[in-house]
Amino acid sequence: MNSKSAPSDAFPAQPTKSDSVSRTSQWPASLRRQPLWVRYGLLGAAGLLVALGGIAGYQLVADAPAETASTQATALPVETIEAKQISSYQVPRIYTGEIAALRNSELGFERGGELVQVLVDEGQRVRTGETLAKLDIRNLETQRLQVRAQRAQAIARLSELQNGARAEDIAIAEAAVRDLEQQLSLQETQTQRREFLYERGAIAREQLDEFSFGANSLQAKLDQARSRLEELRNGTRFEQIEAQRAVVSQLEAQLEDIDVNLSKSAIAAPFDGIVAERRIDEGTVVGAGQAVIELVEAAELEARIGVPANIVDQVPVGDIKTIRINNQPYAAEVAAILPQIDSSTRTQTIVLTLDATAIGEMEPGQTARLTIDETLNTEGFWLPRRALTQGIRGLWTCYVVVSADSSLIVEQRSVEIIQQETIGMDSDASTRVLVRGTLQPGDQVVTSGVHRLVPEQAVTLISDE
């Protein structure tokens, strides 16, 4: 029965009229419009295509083992490295600070007055002692002239007291005494005569009193002249000389005070530096202590960089570090670590002093960068970046060489990249990655031609050839 049905399936019998009508109703409308022989021709062609497809599929299945065997027989030469596990690694961290002067001063006058000269401009370098600005000093100069004249007069008087009276002065004083003695003698004689006449009633009492008082006045003048003569003969007293010396000292102190005020009328640079800011111009009346010029020291500069408190121990005082300013490296010595912790950044400030030869190449306020290697405790393996290929789900794949019977093949290992870093500069630079995953210490990891490999690929080691 099966033998009969097979030819019937392969070679359909001629349809009857009723069968034709029935089957025709099952054709698509586009085919029903075609002649009958065309329709059956299309069916035959479709059957032939199905038969050819089956034959081709069978041939592919038959050839697959041969191709696999050929792939396994072709061993690719590869380079490998041994996977060595580490327990920690260092990550470079960059911390930013600024270049600062050791000294930064806001300079002003110690007294008030009109600002008449500002002798420097912003950015100008100045030397220690150089005058930067001046106040009006005309009133002080006038006071100094007056006090100088008073001091000269006082000094002359002191010299006179120290040298004593001249002979001429003594002679004049003696003559004055003699003259007063004669006047007093005459006055006394006239008084006696007036007393005689008064007793006789010849004159009034008033005339007698006039001569009596005149004699007393002359006696007082005579006593004064004799005292002056005695003073000239004995010389000046010590107390008078000391009093005059005090007058001279007082005037000299006034002169010194004026000179101090004159010196306070000018601003001089307290150190070698650069004018950072000129805050006030000429013609302004300034008060004592008001800032006029800001000066920063140029002779010595330092870098102040904040770092986390937990890595301060990695930067000991005295250590030499490399900082970068405008992408240029400079050697700097760790001079101090400030104990205070910044409340906003939670960092401590490291102070680094710069080499004197580099100071002329930088200015205060520039940005400085310090790189510190931070140690992180993480296990993993360092591999060349070229040893990895992209995997799935964010993972990466590497190949390790294993023994299979008498040959070497590769197996896949899935890994995760923890850290990536570049070693070297410019054209000699290479990238390595720190990975962790299914790698084991001692695995031979393929580092060349990984894009040509498939799992269980036969390989040979280049070092073994």
Q: What is the pLDDT of residue 90?
A: 86
Mean pLDDT (whole number) for 419-424: 84
Q: Do the Cβ atoms of 333 and 284 come closer than 8 Å?
A: no
Model confidence at 70, pLDDT cuts 50, 70, 90, reads: very low
What is the structure's pLDDT at 67? Answer: 44
What is the spatial distance between Cα 213 and Cα 231, in angstroms, rounded to a whole number? 27
Tell me what pLDDT residue 47 has. 55
Least confident of 26-35, 211-220, 260-269, 441-450: 26-35
Average pLDDT over residues 374-403: 91
The reported pLDDT for the residue numbered 286 is 92
Question: Per-residue pLDDT for 164 more than 80?
Answer: no
Which of 46-60, 67-81, 98-112, 291-305 shows the lowest per-residue confidence on average (mean pLDDT)? 46-60
**What's the mean pLDDT in 13-18?**
44
Strands 113-118 and 125-126: unpaired
Average pLDDT, integer, range 316-326: 91
CA distances from 77 to 353, 386, 409, 451, 454 (A): 55, 16, 11, 13, 14
Q: Rounded to 10 degrees, what is the CA torsion of 240, 244, 246, 250? A: 160
Q: Which CATH class is domain 75-88+378-464?
A: mainly beta
CATH 2.40.30.170 for domain 94-102+298-376, yes or no, is yes
**pLDDT over 70 at 402, yes or no:** yes
* Short-list 361, 363, 350, 358, CA closest to 97: 350
Average pLDDT over every residue of 120-140 = 92
Residue 439 has pLDDT above 80, yes or no: yes
Q: What's the mean per-residue pLDDT of the chain?
A: 81
Average pLDDT over residues 74-98: 91
Indicate the range of 116-125, 353-362, 399-408 predicted with least confidence.
Answer: 353-362
pLDDT of residue 375 exceeding 90: no
For 206-230, what is the mean pLDDT? 82
Could you tell me if 79 and 387 are in contact, meaning their C-beta atoms sit under 8 angstroms apart? no
Percent of the chain with pLDDT over 70: 80
Closest to 307 measured CA to CA, from 334, 336, 346: 346
Top-confidence residue, 16 or 227: 227
Q: Would you place residue 2 in the very low, low, confident or very high pLDDT band (cuts 50, 70, 90)?
A: very low
Handedness of CA 428, 433, 434, 435 (dihedral sign): negative
Q: CA-based angle 252:253:256, to the nearest 5?
A: 90
Q: Can you give the pLDDT at residue 5?
A: 39
Q: Determine if residue 164 is left, alpha or beta; phi over 0 gives left, psi from -120 to 50 gives alpha, anything else beta.
A: left
Q: Is the pLDDT of residue 13 over 70?
A: no
Output the pLDDT for position 215: 80
b/e 292-302 (16+ beta carbons within 10 angstroms → b): bbbbbbbeebb
Does the global pTM surpass 0.75? no
Crossing angle between the packed helical segments 238-263 and 138-163, to the nearest 10 degrees: 160
| Greater pLDDT, 206 or 121 | 121
Strand pairing category for 380-384 and 430-437: antiparallel
Give which of 74, 75, 84 is closest to 462, Cα–Cα.
Answer: 75
Asked if residue 465 has pLDDT above 60, the reply is no
What pLDDT is attached to residue 291? 93
- Please give the average per-residue pLDDT across 167-176, as a whole number: 80
Burial class (CB in 10 A: 0-12, 13-18, 19+), 387: buried
HEC sequence for the chain: CHHHHHHHHHCCCCCCHHHHHHHHCCCCHHHHCCCHHHHHHHHHHHHHHHHHHHHHHHHHHHHHHHHHHHHHHCCEEECEEECCEECCEEEEEEEEEEEEECCEEEEECCCCEEEEEECCCCCCEECCCCEEEEECCHHHHHHHHHHHHHHHHHHHHHHHHHHCCCHHHHHHHHHHHHHHHHHHHHHHHHHHHHHHHHHCCCCCHHHHHHHHHHHHHHHHHHHHHHHHHHHHHHCCCHHHHHHHHHHHHHHHHHHHHHHHHHHCCEEECCCCEEEEEECCCCCCEECCCCEEEEEEECCCEEEEEEEEHHHHHHCCCCCEEEEEECCEEEEEEEEEEEEEECCCCCEEEEEEEECHHHHHHCCCCCEEEEEEEEEECCCEEEEEHHHCEECCCCCEEEEEEEEECCEEEEEEEEEEEEEEEEECCHHHCEEEEEEEECCCCCCEEECCCHHHCCCCCEEEEHHHC
- Check whether 145 has a pLDDT greater than 70: yes
Least confidently predicted of 92-96, 356-360, 407-411, 441-445: 356-360
Residue 351: the pLDDT is 93
Cα Rg of the chain (Å, integer):
60
Q: Which residue has the higher pLDDT, 262 or 233?
A: 262
Contact 73, 456 (CB under 8 A): no
The CATH number of domain 106-135+265-296 is 1.20.1260.10: no
Q: Using N-to-C axis directions, what is the helix angle for 167-199 and 205-234, rounded to 10°? A: 160
What pLDDT score was predicted for residue 427?
61
